[in-house]
Amino acid sequence: MTSANQPAHPVPSPAAAETPAVDLNDPALYINREISQLKFNVRVLDQSLDERTPLLERLKFLLIFSRNMDEFFEIRVAGLKHQIAFGHELVGADGLPPQRVLAEISAIAHRQIERQYAILNERILPELDAHGIRIVRRSQWTPRQKRWIARHFHHEVAPLLTPIGLDPTHPFPLLVNKSLNFIVKLEGADAFGRDSGLAILPAPRILPRLVRLPDEVCDGGHNYVLLSSIMHAHAQELFPGMKVLGCYQFRLTRNADLSIDPEDVEDLALALRGELASRRFGDAVRLEVADNCPRELADYLLHRFGLGPDELYEVNGPVNLARLFGIVNQVNFPELQYRPFTPSLPKVLQKSEDLFRAIARQDILLLHPYESFAPVVDLLRQAAKDPAVLTIKQTLYRSGADSEIVDALVEAARAGKEVTAVVELRARFDEESNLSLAARLQQAGAIVVYGVVGMKTHAKLMLIQRREGDELVRYAHLGTGNYHTGNARLYTDYSLLTSDEALCEDVHKLFGLLTGMGKLQPMKKLLHAPFTLKKTLLELIAAEARHAEAGRPAQIVIKVNAITEAGMIRALYKASMAGVKIDLIVRGMCCLRPGVPGVSHNIRVRSVIGRFLEHSRVYWFANGGEPRIYLGSADLMERNLDRRVEAVFPIEGKKLQQRIRKELDLYLADNSSASVLLPNGEYQRLQPGAGQSVRNVQEQLLERLSGLAG
């Protein structure tokens, strides 16, 4: 850790200011995006060691690391392997070829996964045990527990198992992505005289991986056994007359990216349904085995899956730690968990039951989860019941087929409103859910479209048209996060409720582009990718550089999930070289290298990881004393700026602008949940300096907006 007691920004030396022309395409100025993403996952794992965090929440961070790593291998590593296999290697601004990136990923991932299991076995599990929460190992089972487990195995597990002997008529089975399996070494011949010596035992996906032991066979506390332990203990019974010499769990991770070319299909929904089934059986990218598995068996599995030694991960524990989330969800230990809180409502909404009237009076800004997402849902519900409402249009990226948002849209459609939903079918890992919600909306009579061919619709927009007297009045919701009530309790995101005529007209035009056809219409306030967003952001950055060169105060504060787009990074470098003070709050990937003398000496980068997933995107420009502030759905990534439909909207009015700036300042002052990016690409966790109080932005926002103190 490093002290947070540091100057607001590094002061460049005269020599740095006079540095001759710099090649901003120099690969040394860029960090590889996959390695940067991997280091974000490591920062998540680091949270499991923070003793200021309640114990069960520390376990959550350790398990989230597992989930993140699964997706990292399924998408990032799989993508690199695909490039190499097909001879289409793409080299980014960092200049690292895919083969070298894979080698670095392997070294970091092996080290961190070994560290993860050490944290689990040496820190988390012993501390849980001290609180009466135990995963009981086979060597610790009491006679009573053994009898109960045996009955459970015979009644609940064994009938569902299908051992597969390996011989010419029983080839190696096609195993589902991330499924739990055992490789079993056998001795002897079976009833047909077969003696291949090997079998595969898949664990049925329908069975829970974590089994709670009943209180009557335990001496207090919450006691669990793993399905893998139960199957291992009774493996001998599955091969009668033969001798089980060894039984070892393993798990295969496969490429889970979908490979649909929207231009080559007539019905995207139909093609996607077909592709989803194949996701479970993509190319192998990683093999996890128990660390007691003999090397010859591990090598045999590697050969079967076409993997090399560097793609083998030997682990000291269950091969799928994410299954331990069951513990967190089942036990009730308030002292080991974050304190619950109730999201607040701003005063303007506390005093008004008519949301349309409240929004007509003023723009309303909400910061979730500290402030409730309910007004967004309630606005839809009110619109569904209001006879004056004629149309509702909404984008849906990740919402869930059974969400309150979809319920309200279904109600509105059934009530005769003209409901249009732009459903993004290709939201990664939510494709199946989105297919379901699209079908549900269509059955209710809503118009459902799938956006624009070749581009994901990532914008977060809702537009309601209401007849008021002789006029049609528009109301809009614009956000930085998805229309998902569950995520709104876990992710930090902004929502803007507005009836601003120009902004609502812009939203109307954008929906026209998404659902119909036509040339681009000029917009007054909304920035949207792939048309005006990138160009305008570059102009705003360049304007700050001109302010600095003219001796005027110049500053940029950007909060996003990722910065990878080389053109944006070069623009920020140029602004830094011109003297602009730049603060970047970047949760995950950051390919910009801060603190390089003469280039990025005026740039600081920090990452905040805490109770909530930082998800809001904020763009703040000093603009010569008249700040310009934008919120939206877009990160500074190639895909967001060039290959997606994104919406970024202005925040106007000094009161709201000052509020956002104050909230950004809390992030910049955080000295307990923030890590700073160093010039070498590593991160250092901040801690309070001598005499400093602890400042945690999420705790401060909880206290300010939700009244949760301490």
Q: Provide the pLDDT confidence category of residue 260 given band limits of 50, 70 and 90.
A: very low
Last residue of a domain, one of 520, 551, 571: 520
pLDDT of 576 higher than 70: yes
Q: Strand 491-498 relative to strand 471-479: parallel, antiparallel, unpaired?
A: antiparallel
Q: How many Å apart are CA 370 and CA 683, to the nearest integer?
A: 28
Among the listed residues 115, 132, 133, the one whose alpha carbon sits nearest the alpha carbon of residue 48 = 115
One-letter amino acid of 142: T
- Contact in structure between 27 and 94 (CB atoms under 8 Å): yes
Specify if 54 maps to a domain.
Answer: no
Specify if 218 maps to a domain.
Answer: yes
pLDDT of 258 higher than 70: no
> What is the CATH number for 242?
3.30.1840.10
The answer on 489 and 400 residing in a single domain is yes
pLDDT of 552 higher than 50: yes
pLDDT for 11: 47
Q: State pLDDT tens for residues 611-633.
A: 999 999 999 999 999 999 999 99
> Which residues pair with residue 457 across a beta bridge?
645
Q: How many Å apart are CA 662 and CA 658, to the nearest integer?
A: 6
Q: Provide the pLDDT confidence category of residue 517 given band limits of 50, 70 and 90.
A: confident
**Which is more confident, 274 or 382?**
382
Last residue of a domain, one of 520, 545, 561: 520
pLDDT for 709: 57
Tokens found for residue 278: 């194949």
> What is the CATH number for 363?
3.30.870.10
Q: Provide the pLDDT confidence category of residue 276 given band limits of 50, 70 and 90.
A: very low
- Contact in structure between 326 and 209 (CB atoms under 8 Å): yes
Which range (24-33, 354-363, 376-385, 426-435) has the least confidence? 426-435
Which range (103-112, 269-278, 497-506, 544-553) has the least confidence? 269-278
- Contact in structure between 558 and 530 (CB atoms under 8 Å): no
pLDDT of 511 higher than 80: yes
pLDDT of 410 higher than 60: yes
Specify if 552 maps to a domain.
Answer: yes
Q: How many Å apart are CA 336 and CA 176, to the nearest integer?
A: 35
Among the listed residues 75, 78, 94, the one whose alpha carbon sits nearest the alpha carbon of residue 86 = 78
Please, what is the average pLDDT of the chain?
A: 90
The answer on 701 and 565 residing in a single domain is yes
Q: How many Å apart are CA 630 and CA 183, to the nearest integer?
A: 55
Q: Can you say which residues are annotated as belonging to the binding site for ATP?
A: 68, 491, 587, 615
The answer on 443 and 363 residing in a single domain is yes
In 502-643 the beta strands, taken as DSSP E runs, fall at: 527-529, 555-560, 581-586, 603-608, 613-614, 617-621, 628-632
Specify if 56 maps to a domain.
Answer: no
The answer on 505 and 379 residing in a single domain is yes
Q: State pLDDT tens for residues 648-691.
A: 999 999 999 999 999 999 999 999 999 999 999 999 999 988 88
pLDDT of 265 higher than 60: no
For residues 166-182, average pLDDT: 85
pLDDT for 124: 97
Q: How many Å apart are CA 348 and CA 641, to the nearest integer?
A: 35
The answer on 489 and 537 residing in a single domain is no
pLDDT of 263 higher than 80: no
Q: Provide the pLDDT confidence category of residue 86 given band limits of 50, 70 and 90.
A: confident
For residues 220-241, average pLDDT: 94
Model confidence, pTM: 0.91
pLDDT of 280 higher than 70: no
**What sections of 138-183 are H helices per DSSP?**
143-152
> Which residues pair with residue 198 across a beta bridge?
185
For residues 558-578, average pLDDT: 98
Burial class (CB in 10 A: 0-12, 13-18, 19+), 104: middle
Q: State pLDDT tens for residues 301-337.
A: 999 999 999 999 999 999 989 889 989 888 788 999 9
The answer on 430 and 459 residing in a single domain is yes
The answer on 236 and 208 residing in a single domain is yes
| Range of the structural domain that residue 129 is part of | 98-265+282-336
77 DSSP assignment: I
pLDDT of 207 higher than 90: yes
Specify if 59 maps to a domain.
Answer: no
pLDDT of 5 higher than 90: no
pLDDT of 206 higher than 50: yes
Consecutive H or E run containing 199 = strand 198-202
Percent composition of the chain: helix, strand, coil (DSSP 3-state, to 5): 40, 25, 35
Q: How many domains does the chain have?
A: 3
For residues 582-586, average pLDDT: 98
Consecutive H or E run containing 57 = helix 55-71
Q: How many Å apart are CA 41 and CA 560, to the nearest integer?
A: 16
For residues 550-565, average pLDDT: 96
The answer on 501 and 362 residing in a single domain is yes
**Which is more confident, 457 or 118?**
118
Specify if 554 maps to a domain.
Answer: yes
Specify if 57 maps to a domain.
Answer: no
The answer on 628 and 582 residing in a single domain is yes
| 218: three-class secondary structure by DSSP | coil
- Contact in structure between 497 and 475 (CB atoms under 8 Å): yes
Which range (6-15, 353-362, 409-418) has the least confidence? 6-15
- Look up 170 and say whether it is catalytic: no
For residues 40-68, average pLDDT: 96
Q: How many Å apart are CA 473 and CA 28, to the nearest integer?
A: 53
The answer on 134 and 173 residing in a single domain is yes
Q: State pLDDT tens for residues 412-465.
A: 999 999 999 998 876 565 567 777 888 888 888 889 888 777 788 899 999 999
pLDDT for 20: 61
Specify if 134 maps to a domain.
Answer: yes
Whether the ω angle into residue 171 lies within 30 degrees of 0, i.e. cis, is no
pLDDT above 90: percentage of residues in the chain: 75
Among the listed residues 582, 532, 579, 517, the one whose alpha carbon sits nearest the alpha carbon of residue 555 = 582
Question: Could you identify the residue written with the tokens 């120009």?
Answer: 502
The answer on 184 and 212 residing in a single domain is yes
Which range (161-170, 231-240, 439-448) has the least confidence? 161-170
pLDDT of 19 higher than 50: no
pLDDT for 271: 45
Q: Which of 368, 458, 477, 601 is catalytic?
A: 458
The answer on 355 and 300 residing in a single domain is no
Tokens found for residue 58: 């520390």
pLDDT for 425: 72
Last residue of a domain, one of 503, 520, 537: 520
